[in-house]
Amino acid sequence: MMEEDFYATLKLRSGEEIFAKVCASEEEDRTFLLLSNPIQVSEVTSRRGVQGYKVEPWLKTTTDDMFVLNIDDVMTMSESSDIDMIMMYQQFINEGSDYHDPSGSTLRNNKVNREMGYISTVQDAKEILEKLYNQS
C-alpha cells in the first residue's frame, strides 16, 4: 500500500542527512521509503563571510532519480513544510547540478571567452604571479 508523497529530512543510521520527496510503501510486513531525487545540503561560508547552501545529489555516481530505502535504515525522519527548503530542492531538480553564473547562463554549455575572465597561458600566468610576488 502506497501513501501520499511528502517532503522530508531523513537522518540515516549511517549518519547521512538527506532531503527528498518521500513516499512510504508497505509490502508484506516491511515498510520501505521511496525517495525521489534525494539531496544533501550543507552550509558554506565564503571568504567574505557570506553564508549560503551547497546542494548536491545524495549519490553522485548514478543517474537514477528514485531510490528504495528500508525504514530500518532510518534513524529519524521529519516531514518538511519549509517553503525555502522545498524551493531550493525544486530548483536543484529542475536545473540539475550545472553551475549557473549570476547572469543566469549555464556555464557547462558555454565556450570559454574573455568576458568570463582572464585567459592566458601557464607561462604568462606564472610570470605575472612572480612579478606580483616580487613586488610585495
pLDDT band at 1 (very low <50, low <70, confident <90, very high): low
Greater confidence (47 vs 110) lies with 47
pTM over 0.75: no
Q: pLDDT for 73-132, tens place per residue? A: 999 999 999 998 999 899 988 886 544 444 444 444 445 555 655 666 777 777 777 888
- Bridge partners of residue 36, in order along the sequence: 21, 66
* Topology (CATH level 3) of domain 6-97: SH3 type barrels. (2.30.30)
Helices and strands, number each (H, E), in the chain: 2, 6
Greater confidence (80 vs 47) lies with 80
Round to whole Å and give the CA distance between 93 and 91: 5
Residue ranges covered by each domain of the chain:
6-97, 103-136
